[in-house]
């Protein structure tokens, strides 16, 4: 599997995302100014501060040339994973529902949190078990997932909430403890926690690996051998 | 034409900045302050002010979480 990782000016978690991708396949750097996704099988929009987070996090990045290609890639049903700032970019681009608002504390939150896998039958969680607890770090200032009530109801009804913060672990006031949410088709996932920082026990937890392993399983199934 | 776009958090959405300011003012002796909200101001010169709403919808605001008001000032 070839996983592309987008780099915007101001991205900073692209390196770790590339390293995480290497654990499960071939990592392919993608540059924001190029519309060419180089034939990758999956795309990661990583964390950081794309375009300085000017105006709103993700507001400028969504208009970069690479995002048009990412939108087409997503529309074709192939997997796109947005992490932290990448989640914000995908929301601003309309590829994911909702928005990420400033944390109620107005502070940068950096800590290890527990997530619960609500669905283990998705391209991003199929290597996990339902109800599994994952220890993964968060680090952000604007991570409060918000959507109007009717949208939240629809997300629940369509099974689009696949990761929630475990009880007492919601670091940012996200509605309904939502940590990871997909589009209706289920092939685009956004989450604020950083699985790419949790792929080796040396740094405290390797629980993030199951998301990347899931993407590998999913892509392998799509490709006839 | 000079234009101003006033951007504020949508009603009902938690506005932590407004809350902090609302708590800070009485601490400085300014009593009787409530319903504080903090937004943003974008000032710009535009040739065609008719396109301002589209600019607001597509870039200047996120309509899901923000309301906006356009003021034009002929100079």
Whether residue A194 lies in the annotated active site: yes
Residues B59, B66: Cα–Cα separation, whole Å: 12
All residues at 6 or more sequence positions from B49 whose CB lies less than 8 Å from its CB, including other chains: B1, B3, B70, B72
Examine the pLDDT at A224 and tell me if it is beyond 80.
no
Nearest chain B Cα distance for residue A102, angstroms: 8
Instruction: Assign A139 a pLDDT band (cuts: 50, 70, 90).
Output: very high
Nearest chain A Cα distance for residue B47, angstroms: 22
Q: Chain A residues with CB inside 8 Å of B13's CB? A: 101, 146
Examine the pLDDT at A53 and tell me if it is beyond 90.
yes
Residues A82-115 have pLDDT tens digits of 999 999 999 999 999 999 999 999 999 999 999 9
Q: Chain B residues with CB inside 8 Å of A147's CB? A: 64
Whether residue A84 lies in the annotated active site: yes
Examine the pLDDT at A144 and tell me if it is beyond 90.
yes
Active-site position among A84, A91, A128, A210: A84
HSE (CB half, 13 Å, CA atoms) of A23? 20
Instruction: Assign B73 a pLDDT band (cuts: 50, 70, 90).
Output: confident
Instruction: Determine the pLDDT at residue A25.
Output: 97
Return residues 7-66 of B near A (CB < 8 Å). 13-14, 16-17, 20, 59-60, 62, 64-65
Residues A176, A170: Cα–Cα separation, whole Å: 9
Instruction: Determine the pLDDT at residue B74.
Output: 75
Instruction: Determine the pLDDT at residue A50.
Output: 95
**Could you tell me what percent of chain A has a pLDDT over 90?**
98
Instruction: Assign A222 a pLDDT band (cuts: 50, 70, 90).
Output: confident
A43 touches A80 (CB < 8 A): yes
Region of A8 (left: φ > 0; alpha: ψ -120 to 50; beta: rest) is: beta
- Look at residues A115, A50, A107, A112 and name the one whose alpha carbon lies nearest to residue A84: A50
HSE (CB half, 13 Å, CA atoms) of A185? 12
Mean pLDDT (chain A, rounded): 96
Residue A29's φ and ψ, nearest 5 degrees, are -70, 135
Residues B12-65 have pLDDT tens digits of 999 999 999 999 999 999 999 999 999 999 999 999 999 999 999 999 999 999
Cα-based angle B66, A152, B40 (whole degrees, multiple of 5): 10
B25 touches B36 (CB < 8 A): yes
Instruction: Assign A150 a pLDDT band (cuts: 50, 70, 90).
Output: very high
Nearest chain B Cα distance for residue A91, angstroms: 10
Instruction: Determine the pLDDT at residue A225.
Output: 58
Active-site position among A32, A140, A169, A194: A194
Among B17, B60, B65, the residue with its CB nearest the CB of A146 is: B65
Return the number of other C-beta atoms located less than 10 Å from residue A55's C-beta. 17
Number of H helices, E strands in chain A: 5, 11
Return the number of other C-beta atoms located less than 10 Å from residue A52's C-beta. 11
Instruction: Determine the pLDDT at residue A20.
Output: 98
HSE (CB half, 13 Å, CA atoms) of A131? 0
Examine the pLDDT at A17 and tell me if it is beyond 80.
yes
Residues A113, A103: Cα–Cα separation, whole Å: 15
Residues A91, A85: Cα–Cα separation, whole Å: 10
């Amino acid at each position: 599997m070839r996983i592309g990782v987008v780099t915007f000016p101001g991205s900073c978690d692209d390196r770790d995302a590339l390293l995480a991708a290497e654990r499960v396949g071939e990592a392919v750097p993608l540059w924001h100014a190029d519309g060419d996704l180089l034939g990758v099988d999956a795309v990661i929009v990583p964390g950081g501060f794309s375009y300085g987070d000017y105006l709103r996090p993700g507001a400028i990045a969504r208009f970069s040339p690479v995002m048009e290609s990412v939108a087409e890639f997503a529309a074709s049903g192939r997997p796109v994973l947005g992490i932290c700032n990448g989640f914000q970019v995908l929301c601003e681009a309309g590829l994911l529902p909702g928005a990420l608002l400033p944390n109620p504390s107005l502070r940068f939150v950096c800590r290890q949190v527990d997530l619960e896998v609500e669905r283990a039958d998705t391209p991003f969680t199929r290597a996990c078990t339902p109800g599994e607890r994952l220890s993964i770090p968060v680090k952000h200032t604007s991570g409060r997932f918000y959507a109007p009530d009717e949208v939240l109801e629809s997300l629940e009804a369509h099974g689009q909430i696949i990761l929630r913060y475990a009880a007492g672990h919601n670091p940012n006031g996200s509605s309904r403890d939502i940590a990871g949410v997909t589009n209706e088709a289920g092939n685009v996932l956004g989450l604020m926690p950083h699985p790419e920082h949790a792929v080796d026990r040396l740094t405290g937890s390797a629980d993030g690996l199951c998301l990347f392993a899931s993407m590998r399983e999913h892509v392998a199934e799509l490709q006839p051998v | 034409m000079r234009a101003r776009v006033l951007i504020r958090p949508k009603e009902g959405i938690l506005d932590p900045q407004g809350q902090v300011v609302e708590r800070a003012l009485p601490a400085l002796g300014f009593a009787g302050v409530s319903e504080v909200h903090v937004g943003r101001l974008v000032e710009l010169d535009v040739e065609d002010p008719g396109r301002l709403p589209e600019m607001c919808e597509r870039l200047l605001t996120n309509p899901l979480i923000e309301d906006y008001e356009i003021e034009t000032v002929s100079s």
